[in-house]
A = this chain, B = another copy of it.
Amino acid sequence: MEAGLFTANNVWMMVCTALVFFMHLGFSFLEIGLTRQKNTVNILFKNVFIICVGLLLYYIGGFNLMYPGFEDGDMGIFKFAGFGIAAPEGGMTAAYADGGYTWWTDFLFQGMFAATAATIVSGAVAERVKLGGFMVFTIIYVGLVYPIVGAWKWGGGWLDGLGFYDFAGSTLVHSVGGWAALIAIFLLGARKGKFGEDGKAKAIPGHNLPLAAAGVLILWLGWFGFNGGSVLSADPELTSLVLVTTCLAAAAGGVAAFITSLIKYKNYDLTMFLNGILGGLVSITAGADLMSPNEAVIIGLLGGVIVVFGIALIDKLKLDDPVGAVAVHLICGIWGTLAVGLFGSMASMDQFLIQLAGVGAAATFCTLTAFIILFTIKKVVGLRVSEKEEIEGLDIHEHGMDAYADFRMNQH
């Protein structure tokens, strides 16, 4: 391969790595924007913790657990290639990975993905989870569960052998985080005041919608790298198609959620619009490289509708998900995964069933492991802060800090 092509490929993959890293600011802004001021420092702390620890865990063992070098017939649940990272011979030349990137880029791009699963959970459990318990959960879930599931498909394991397709992680990233979020909010219970005496869900408004909106726009930007980089090279046709399908699905998801919520609630709801964009993005993620623009719009539109009804469903189930993470990441993650069997160049009944099997496998493994981890934490150290702490805010109790300590109104 010519040096220029190899270099251009690697440049694109490094840019995408940077964009996926930047998604962590998007998640942080979205989560603090949609929650109350008194828990802001706590959420920021969790997110910064997840990025740093997630990357270090991926360096210590996650990468080798996710890409253990499965061979045909090697169809177990997991395999481990050892601790630490060290570039293999030839890992820096165009001979590696068809010249799509170097081994170092490979590690870092995948490492930036790894932390995402825990971040999804972070939003769902916000405002009531104990910091210590959440940190333990993050370490185990990001360090072990995420890479094991990832290995099944992206590491060449049994789901890959089965023909399962998940381009950039509707299942492997978003559902993996979403299942844990679902289990976590079930075990945690709702925030005080979320459900009235009549049992009806009440909106607990967030404290900073500009940051929430910024978070979603930053996430959309990050998705240029999340999906665009999942081509694993800068192949002009594939990367540019993927950006088109990704952006069209995002736009369609937003508009669909806005219109659905306008009809359903007679309201121009900014939060629904924003979550609809995310729903469109998660929905297209599994098949962003397989769809035509028209199909991407349809998948995104349905993703946006799903988000509005998904959020209503979570409320009906008396579950409390402050940022809508389960609707966006889990339900749209499932929808996007199944859509690969319904639309685009791989659509067939067989493929649909294989996609369903992949969804089921992730569901089984993730709910089981998340339940075991979280239930154990609940029993051993406790998962939820005290009532006093919840009312007064986690920032003061867990951190001794106020996110806007000096903020004064109309001081002059």
How many A residues touch B, CB cutoff 8 Å?
Answer: 116
Q: Is the CB of B270 within 8 A of A56?
A: no
Contact of A18 among B224, B252, B258, B271 (CB under 8 A): B224
Residues of B within 8 A of A207 (CB): 404-407
Q: Is the CB of B244 within 8 A of A107?
A: yes
Give the CA-CA distance A75 to B343 in the complex, in Å. Answer: 41
Q: Is the CB of A297 within 8 A of B8?
A: no
Which B residue's beta carbon lies closest to that of A24?
B217
Q: Is the CB of A270 within 8 A of B402?
A: no
Q: Is the CB of A48 within 8 A of B243?
A: no
Which stretch (A25-33, A141-149, A157-165, A331-339) binds chain B?
A: A25-33
The 0/1 profile, CB within 8 Å of B marked 1, for residues 202-229 of chain A is: 0011111111011011101100100010
Which stretch (A35-43, A183-191, A371-379) binds chain B?
A: A35-43
Give the CA-CA distance A87 to B81 in the complex, in Å. Answer: 43
Tell me how far the C-beta of A15 lies from the nearest C-beta in chain B, rounded to whole angstroms: 6
Tell me how far the C-beta of A308 lies from the nearest C-beta in chain B, rounded to whole angstroms: 15
Residues of B within 8 A of A10 (CB): 234, 236, 239-240
Question: Is A403 interfacial (CB-CB < 8 Å)?
Answer: yes
Which B residue's beta carbon lies closest to that of A104?
B240
Question: Is A84 interfacial (CB-CB < 8 Å)?
Answer: yes
Question: Is A293 interfacial (CB-CB < 8 Å)?
Answer: yes
Which B residue's beta carbon lies closest to that of A236?
B10
The 0/1 profile, CB within 8 Å of B marked 1, for residues 82-120 of chain A is: 001110000010000000011111011001000000000
Residues of B within 8 A of A228 (CB): 14
Can you give 14 contacting A-B residue pairs, CB < 8 Å?
A2-B4, A7-B234, A14-B224, A14-B239, A22-B217, A29-B210, A32-B210, A48-B277, A56-B251, A101-B236, A104-B237, A205-B402, A207-B407, A267-B400
